[in-house]
């Protein structure tokens, strides 16, 4: 048999085997679907309002996979934001934004935040000397309060670094962790010059008291992945890439460290080089890096990214796992998710909307009382204008049923 004959024979055998495999695959799939249908109970049919189990839409098939005890203990609604009093009330000409979580010490709440002054010019002018974002040229300040409403600004906690340091342009979007009598602030950093291709990092400072003084680490504790390749040399073009790289190849943002199972889990927002707009909005995903010591070194999880959606990090411990509020971007935005191991998250509820962003949680809340207890009240920020932002107070309530006007309400709806 010649080469052509052998080639035709191989091709025919391939087609026959492919056809057989396709037939087997279809038969196995059909058998699997029949087995799934046999498992459908009368309770599921009644609960989901299914008319005919022999004619199931894709949506009904998905719904049948939901657990019957899914419940609504994770569902909440956010209420209108309220302005703060005292030094954190809106002040023209001053940016106060991205509040950290709150802790309590000697009878007072403490919060840290990004603070800058002056208008934002963007990237079209003198980027070396002007301000390109409201969070540009920030230092980290802190304030205290006895009631969570009226705040006293105490001053600077962490300043930008000296010229040439990795944090010489801005330090911002801060989070607090208290552990074994010490206090740790993690935050974003930017080194000059600030262009749209700049790769920011995460820094850390620690102290023996929430009032400081704060000792800053000489090196960042987290950096973007270094496996993307820009296209061209236009520093104001972040869309053009030869290779996008990992989900966090451009930026690591919004850090938050939680003590968890004897280690320290640093959750963060990743931005990818050549970021696209997809059906869920911006391509924003979250990752986690883990350390044995609060000061590091932090090693990124091989399972990253641990979310396919989200924006600012908002995480808290619950039921031996980690819960997360996912907002703003991606196909799973406006959901609350929970992970039994801090890595593998599942959706627990879908919210109507989330009117609070860059949330500062109340870490004094009883996180085991119920899944969303820590979201009853806390801090957030609003854009009073593009130039200036201020910190506000958010609140939420559980919603376990829907009632009409005049109808008797359940305990959680009163």
* pLDDT greater than 50 at residue 9: no
Residues 328-371 pLDDT 10s: 999 999 999 999 999 999 999 999 999 898 999 999 999 999 99
pLDDT interval class at 18 (50, 70, 90): very low
pLDDT value of position 406: 87
Cα 360 versus chain centre, distance: 12
3-state secondary structure the chain: CCHHHHHHHHHHHHHHHHHHHHHHHHHHHHHHHHHHHHCCCHHHHHHHCCCCCCCCCHHHHHHHCCCCCCCCCCCEEECCCEECEECCCCCCCEEEECCCCEEEECCEEEEEEEEEECCCCCCCCCCCCCCCCCCCCCEEEEEEECCCCEEEEEEEEECCCCCCCCCCCEEEEEEEEEECCEEEEEEEEECCCCCCCCCCEEEEEEECCCCCCCEECCCCCECCCCCCEECCCCCCCCCCEEECCCCCCCEEEEEEEEEECCEEEEEEEEECCCCCEECCEECEEEEEEEECCCCCCCEECCCCCCCCCCCCCCEEEECCEEEEEECCCCCCCCEEEEECCCCCCEEEEECCCCCCCCCECECCCCCCCCCCHHHCEEEEEEECCCCCEEEEEEEEEECCCCCCCCCCCCHHHC
DSSP 3-state of 71: coil
Mean residue pLDDT of the chain comes to 90
Mean pLDDT of 307-319: 97
Mean pLDDT of 21-25: 48
Task: Quote the CA–CA distance of 412 and 93 in Å, as a whole number.
Answer: 41
What CATH architecture does domain 76-405 belong to? Answer: 5 Propeller (2.115)
Pairing assessment for the beta strands 150-158 and 85-86 based on DSSP bridges: parallel
For residue 273, the surrounding DSSP H or E stretch is none
pLDDT value of position 70: 72
Instruction: Please tell me the total number of residues recorded for the chain in this structure.
Output: 414
| CB contact set of 104 (below 8 Å; sequence gap of 6+) | 110, 364
- The residue whose two tokens read 């593998």 is 344
Residues 54-82 pLDDT 10s: 999 999 999 998 877 777 899 999 999 99
* pLDDT greater than 70 at residue 17: no
* pLDDT greater than 60 at residue 8: no
pLDDT value of position 262: 97
pLDDT value of position 403: 82
Name the pTM for this structure: 0.89
Q: Where are the domains of the chain?
A: 3-64, 76-405
pLDDT value of position 350: 94
* pLDDT greater than 50 at residue 2: no
Task: Quote the CA–CA distance of 379 and 111 in Å, as a whole number.
Answer: 9
CATH of domain 3-64: 1.10.8.360
Task: Quote the CA–CA distance of 171 and 268 in Å, as a whole number.
Answer: 16
For residue 127, the surrounding DSSP H or E stretch is none
Query: What percentage of the chain has pLDDT greater than the value 70?
Result: 90
């Amino acid at each position: 048999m010649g080469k052509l004959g052998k080639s035709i024979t191989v091709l025919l055998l391939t087609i026959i085997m492919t056809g057989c495999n396709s037939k087997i695959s279809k038969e196995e799939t059909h058998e699997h679907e029949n087995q799934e249908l046999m498992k459908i109970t009368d309770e599921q049919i009644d609960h989901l309002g299914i008319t005919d189990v022999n004619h199931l839409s894709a949506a009904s098939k998905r719904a049948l996979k939901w657990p019957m005890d899914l419940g609504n203990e994770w569902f909440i609604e956010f209420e209108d934001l309220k302005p703060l009093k005292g030094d954190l009330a809106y002040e023209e000409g001053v940016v106060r934004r991205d509040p950290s979580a709150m802790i309590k010490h000697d009878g007072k709440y403490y919060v840290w935040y990004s603070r800058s002054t002056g208008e934002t010019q963007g990237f079209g002018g003198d980027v070396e000397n002007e301000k390109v974002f409201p969070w540009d040229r920030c230092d980290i300040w802190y304030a205290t309060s006895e009631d969570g409403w009226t705040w006293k600004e105490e001053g600077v906690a962490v300043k930008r670094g000296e010229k040439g340091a990795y944090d010489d342009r801005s330090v911002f979007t801060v989070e607090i962790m208290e552990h074994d009598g010490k206090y740790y602030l993690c935050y974003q950093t930017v080194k000059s010059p600030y262009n749209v291709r700049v790769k920011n990092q995460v820094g850390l400072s620690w102290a023996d008291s929430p009032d400081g003084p704060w000792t800053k680490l000489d090196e960042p504790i987290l950096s973007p992945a270094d496996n993307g390749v820009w296209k061209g040399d236009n520093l104001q073009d972040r869309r053009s890439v030869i290779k996008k790289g990992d989900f966090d190849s451009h930026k690591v943002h919004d850090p938050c460290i939680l003590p968890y199972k004897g280690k320290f889990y640093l959750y963060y927002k990743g931005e990818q080089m050549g970021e696209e707009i997809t059906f869920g909005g911006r391509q924003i995903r979250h990752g986690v890096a883990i350390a044995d010591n609060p000061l590091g070194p932090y090693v990124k999880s091989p399972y990253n990214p641990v979310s396919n959606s989200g924006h600012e990090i908002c995480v808290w411990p619950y039921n031996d796992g980690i819960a997360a509020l996912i907002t703003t971007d991606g196909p799973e935005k406006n959901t609350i998710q929970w992970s039994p191991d801090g890595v593998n998250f599942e959706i627990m509820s879908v919210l109507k909307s989330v009117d609070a962003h860059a949330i500062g949680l109340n870490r004094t809340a009883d996180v085991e009382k119920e899944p969303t207890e820590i979201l009853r009240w806390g801090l957030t920020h609003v854009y009073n204008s593009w130039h200036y932002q201020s910190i506000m107070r958010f609140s939420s309530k559980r919603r376990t049923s829907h009632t009409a006007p005049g109808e008797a309400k359940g305990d959680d709806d009163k």
